[in-house]
Amino acid sequence: MTVRTGHENTDRILRMFARFVGVGYVAYLAILLPSITAMAPRLESWWTPAAVVTVFGSGITISLVSFRRGTRAIRITAGIAAAAFLLAAFTWPLAWIGPPVPGAEGVWLAGFPGLASIAAVIAWPTAVAFGHLVVGCVAVQLINYGVRVDSSLTMLVAEIAFAIMFCTLFVGGAAMAMRTGRILDSTTEQTHSAAATAAAHRARAVEQDRFAALIHDGVMATLLTASRRAPKAASAGLATATLRELDAIAGGVTSDQAFSAAATLTYLRAAAAESDHDAAFRVRGRGADDLQVPADVARTIASALAEALRNSHRHAGPSATSTVEVAVTVRGIRVRVIDDGVGFDRSTVAPHRLGVTVSILGRMRQLPGGSAWIDSTPGHGTTVCLDWDAA
C-alpha cells in the first residue's frame, strides 16, 4: 500500500538524484583512480586513503540509502558528502609535500566539484547549494594554481569562471527539478483540497435535497392528507412512517447491506402499499435471483415510487387507477408507475414544486446508474419511469 505523504513528487525526484549522484561517484572513482594513485606520493601518506574513503564513500552511500523508506537519511548523507568534498579541498594544503606537477595536470578533486554540489542540492536549500558550488570550484582551482609549475593568475581566473559556469548547468538543472517536484506537490495538495471542498459542497447539496424531499413526501403529504379530512387511518399511517424515517435519520441508524432481488421486490411492494393500498403491483422478470441491489439504491427507488403514487393519488382524479410494474433483470431494475388519470403538462408545473423535480427526478438522477423521466399528456394519464442499471 502506498502511503501518501504530501511530498510524493519531491521525494521521487530526490531519490532519482540520489541514485544519479551515487552512480556518478562510482564513475568518477573509476576514471580518476590513475590520477589519485599518481598524486598520492606528493601528499602525506594518511591523506589520500582518508580523502578517498570520506569523499567517495559518502557519495556512494547516498544511492544506497535512497532505497530506504523515508528521505531523511538521503538528505543527511548528501549533506555529509557535500561537506566531505569541501573538507578534502581545505585539508589538501596541509597534506601537500610536493614536488609541483606539470602545468597540464591538476588535482583529482578538480574533476567533480559539480557532482558534490548536486549532493548539496539534495541536502540543503538552493542558495546554500550554489554557495557550495562557488566555494568548491574556487577552492579546487586555487589548489591547481598552487601545485602546478608556472601557473598564471590569468589562467586561474579563467579556469574558476569556466568551472563555475560549467557546473552551474548541472546544479541548476537539479535545483529546477527539485523545485518542479515541490510545485507539483503543492499543486496536487491544492487540487485534493479543492476536490474535498467540492465534495463537501456536493454532500451538503445532496443532504438538502434529501431533507427537502422528506419534508415534501412526508410532512407536507401528511398535512395535506389531514387537511382534506381523509380517513384518520390514512393520515396516521403516513405520519407514523414519516416520524419513523425522521427518527432513523436523527439516530444515524441505516443499513448498508445489499438487498437481494426478492428483498428489493418486497421493499418496493411495501412502499407502494404504504403510499396507495389500492394500486396494483405487478412483477416481471423473476429470473434475476443473483442480482444484488445496494441499500441506498433500493431506498431511493422506493422513495421515488412512493412519491409517484402519492402524486397520482392526489392529482390523477377520483376515478383514476394506478399500477406499479416492476421488471427485475440481471442488468438492473425497471419501475413504471402508471395511472389512467387526467395527466398534466410538465411545462405548467411551478419551479418551486418539489414533488417531481426533487422527490422523483432528482433522487433517481443522483444515483450512479439511475435515471428517471415522466411521460404525461393532459387527458391521457401519466407514466413515471424509474430505472437503475447495475453495470
* All cell numbers assigned to 56: 567517495
Residue 87 CB burial class (10 angstroms; 0-12, 13-18, ≥19): middle
Question: In this predicted structure, what is the pLDDT of residue 173?
Answer: 93
Question: In this predicted structure, what is the pLDDT of residue 3?
Answer: 37
Largest CA distance in the chain: 119
Q: Measuring CA to CA, which residue among 282, 262, 263 is closest to residue 272?
A: 282
Q: Who's near 147: CB < 8 A, 6+ residues apart? A: 42, 96, 98, 100, 101, 106, 107
Per domain, the residue ranges of the chain are 8-192, 256-389
Read off the amino acid at residue 328.
V
Q: How many CA atoms lie within 13 A of 134 on its CB side?
A: 5
pTM of the model: 0.55
* All cell numbers assigned to 364: 433517481
Q: Who's near 163: CB < 8 A, 6+ residues apart? A: 110, 113, 137, 140, 141
* All cell numbers assigned to 8: 510524493
DSSP run (H or E) holding 183: helix 153-214
Residue 279 CB burial class (10 angstroms; 0-12, 13-18, ≥19): buried
| Residue 298, strand partner residues | none
CA distances from 290 to 245, 287, 325, 332 (A): 29, 9, 20, 11
Helix, strand, coil percentages for the chain (3-state, nearest 5): 65, 10, 20
Question: In this predicted structure, what is the pLDDT of residue 52?
Answer: 96
What is the C-alpha separation between 69 and 29, in angstroms, rounded?
A: 28
Which residue shows C-alpha cell 396507495? 276
CB atoms within 10 A of CB 73: 16
Question: In this predicted structure, what is the pLDDT of residue 232?
Answer: 59
Mean pLDDT of successive 10-residue stretches along the chain, which has 391 residues: 58 92 95 94 94 96 91 93 96 90 85 94 94 95 89 88 94 92 84 66 58 60 62 61 61 61 82 82 75 85 87 84 89 91 75 63 84 88 90 69
Would strands 259-260 and 292-293 be described as parallel, antiparallel, or unpaired? antiparallel
Which residue shows C-alpha cell 411495501? 270
Kindly report the backbone phi and psi dihedral angles of residue 303, in degrees, each rounded to the nearest multiple of 5, phi listed first: -65, -45
Question: In this predicted structure, what is the pLDDT of residue 85?
Answer: 97
What is the C-alpha separation between 78 and 120, in angstroms, rounded?
A: 6
* C-alpha 254: how far from chain center: 28
Give the CATH H-level superfamily of domain 256-389.
Answer: Histidine kinase-like ATPase, C-terminal domain (3.30.565.10)
- DSSP E strands in 199-321: the ranges are 259-260, 280-284, 292-293
DSSP run (H or E) holding 324: strand 322-329
What is the C-alpha separation between 373 and 361, in angstroms, rounded?
A: 7
Three-state DSSP class for 285?
Answer: coil
Question: In this predicted structure, what is the pLDDT of residue 213?
Answer: 56
